[in-house]
Amino acid sequence: MTGPVLSVRSLAARAGDAELVAGVDLDLHTGGVLAVVGPSGSGKSTLGLALLGEAAPGVALTGSVRVGGTELVGTAGRGRVGHLPQHPGAVLDPLRRVGAVLDEMAAVVHGADRAARSEAVGAALRAAQLPTGELSRRFPHQLSGGQQQRMALALALVTGPDVVVLDEPTTGLDADTTRALVESLAGLAESGVALVLLTHDHDVARALAHEALAVRGGQVDAQGPAAEVLDALAAPTVAEPGPETDHPRLRAQGLTVVTADGRAILDGVDLDAAAGAAVAVVGPSGAGKTTLARALAGLAVPRSGTVEVDGTVLRPDALDRTHDGRRAVQYVHQDPRATFAPRRAVLEQVARPAVRLRGLGSEAARAEAVAVLGTLGVDETTARRRPRALSGGQLQRTAVARALLARPDVIVADEATSALDADHQAGLVEVFDQVRRAHGTALVLVSHDLELVGQVAGTTVVLAAGRVVDRGPTGEVLERTAPRVAPR
């Protein structure tokens, strides 16, 4: 048997006196798949970055990471290692067309050989479940969240790496695309590429991984065959849906959103949510779900259609809405890191809506922010840090807390649980349920997690190509919707 393609010994990461990752040892052979699982903030992303020999600013690495015999810790290069970060915006250049960036990456390996570069780009796009035509001519902002995720994966694959570290690769993907991506990743492993999968999605981990590493608080909790490790991690039951009334809290009618060149992203979409109701919006990646969510919040201005809250028509553009109009509908972005100012403490940013939209004093707003964050599992010490010091799951929860500080009538949550483990997902759903019960807040949940949708939403709306293609009681709709990922 040949030696491991990835060999890690005594790998640790520290930020000052804080130990983020402690003493990790592992070996991964050609074609092997390792799943790294654990709660939000457990150190998964820090470990994933460390496997590249890299660390966030202020974080120091010790120990050894070797890929193909080449040491990565303390060196300038990462060798033949690809990386899909948790947030695709970190690798997609907003000012360049994605195809040009792919070609440039392929040139690192294939030089001036245009045919070889084209073949490498095509293979990477196919492996990432993306078409090889018009999509490559777009800028990142012209891609849906799921398409951005897959394009970032194509960038990780285009250089033909020996090892690929994937941080939450299925975030923002619908069930069909997730299943196809899992099949493609399994094919990559069978071709000899070693994969390290950082994920909270145990279904995907079971479908792909041979070995698993469970981490908590930077410490290795368990390590061994994937089925044994995952079986030991019991998933809690998510809270039952809250009560709904017949009072029409949110009503959107005829929403149509078009691009600058006239292409319809939304085409005459209607959506109602009663006070205390939870309405899910599902559909394939690129169907228009995020555009609908942004239109409800006034962040995407429709060409036609209206949004009403409690019978009052809101202005299409959030910038033109009154204070109460902006407070009424709060949007939780699917990429929360992009919505936090990088140099300001998270706590101050969470408290700000209570000051600006409700007129609270700064001290009272901070106290309320600490309390709400606490219910979501983010302590005050963590909240006083800057965004880069928080994990993706922690930032998702702080983004929800920021929306709650506005005391909205409607919360529009765009994949708000995508980076959360089962414990924190259940806690977030419980908080949503409490708000719905206490204040009659309507919840619009944009999600690819059909199991979560089935547990939370009373009504589900299905979008495809910008139009509503199905709607009704969630149980009935989900029976007609794509199946979940099946273990191989």
Q: Residue-wise pLDDT tens for the chain (488 aa)?
A: 467 999 999 999 998 888 889 989 999 999 999 999 987 778 888 899 899 998 888 889 999 999 988 899 988 666 688 888 877 767 788 889 998 999 998 888 888 888 999 999 998 898 888 887 778 889 988 887 778 888 888 888 898 899 999 988 887 677 777 887 888 888 889 989 999 999 888 888 999 999 999 998 888 889 999 999 988 885 444 444 445 555 689 999 999 999 888 889 999 999 999 999 999 999 988 899 999 999 999 999 999 999 999 999 999 999 999 989 999 999 999 888 889 999 999 999 999 999 999 989 999 999 999 999 999 989 999 999 999 899 888 999 999 999 999 999 999 999 888 778 778 888 888 888 888 988 899 999 999 888 889 989 999 999 999 999 999 999 899 888 654 433 33
Q: Is residue 236 part of a domain?
A: no
Which value, in Å, is the radius of gyration of the alpha carbons in the chain?
Answer: 22
Which residue, 231, 263, 283, sits at the end of a domain?
231
Q: Which domain holds residue 176?
A: 6-231
Look up residue 212 and give its two tokens.
């698993």
Which residue, 231, 263, 295, sits at the end of a domain?
231
Can you say how many angstroms the Cα of residue 37 is from the centroid of all Cα atoms in its chain?
15
Q: Is residue 183 part of a domain?
A: yes
**Predicted local distance difference test score (pLDDT) of residue 325:** 92
Q: Do residue 329 and residue 385 come from a single domain?
A: yes
Q: Do residue 74 and residue 144 come from a single domain?
A: yes
Q: Do residue 209 and residue 344 come from a single domain?
A: no
Closest by CA position to 189, among listed 419, 65, 418, 5: 5
Q: Is residue 337 part of a domain?
A: yes
The whole-angstrom separation of Cα 279 and Cα 293 is 12
SS3 488: coil
Q: Do residue 22 and residue 80 come from a single domain?
A: yes
Closest by CA position to 297, among listed 349, 333, 254: 333
Q: Do residue 355 and residue 225 come from a single domain?
A: no
Q: Is residue 79 part of a domain?
A: yes
The whole-angstrom separation of Cα 425 and Cα 397 is 9
Closest by CA position to 177, among listed 487, 483, 488: 483
- Report the chain's mean pLDDT, rounded to a whole number: 87
Q: Do residue 200 and residue 282 come from a single domain?
A: no
Q: Is residue 366 part of a domain?
A: yes
Q: Do residue 226 and residue 277 come from a single domain?
A: no
The whole-angstrom separation of Cα 67 and Cα 162 is 8
SS3 203: helix
The whole-angstrom separation of Cα 219 and Cα 434 is 33
Q: Do residue 193 and residue 332 come from a single domain?
A: no
Q: Is residue 240 part of a domain?
A: no
Q: Do residue 107 and residue 253 come from a single domain?
A: no
Residue 17, domain CATH: 3.40.50.300
Residues 6 or more apart in contact with residue 260 via CB below 8 angstroms: none
Q: Is the pTM of this model over 0.85?
A: no
Long-range contacts of the stretch 128-135 (C-beta < 8 A, 24+)? 128/153, 128/154, 128/157, 128/181, 128/184, 129/177, 129/180, 129/181, 129/184, 130/154, 135/98
**Predicted local distance difference test score (pLDDT) of residue 163:** 93
Q: Is residue 342 part of a domain?
A: yes
Residues 6 or more apart in contact with residue 435 via CB below 8 angstroms: 404, 411, 441
Number of domains in the chain: 2
For 176-187, give one letter per residue: b (16+ CB within 10 A) or e. Answer: bbbbbbbebbee
Q: Do residue 162 and residue 252 come from a single domain?
A: no
Look up residue 299 and give its two tokens.
């962040």
Q: Do residue 207 and residue 304 come from a single domain?
A: no
Q: Do residue 189 and residue 309 come from a single domain?
A: no
Q: Is the dihedral of CA 242, 244, 247, 252 positive or negative?
A: positive
Q: Is residue 241 part of a domain?
A: no
**Predicted local distance difference test score (pLDDT) of residue 238:** 44
Which residue, 185, 200, 231, sits at the end of a domain?
231
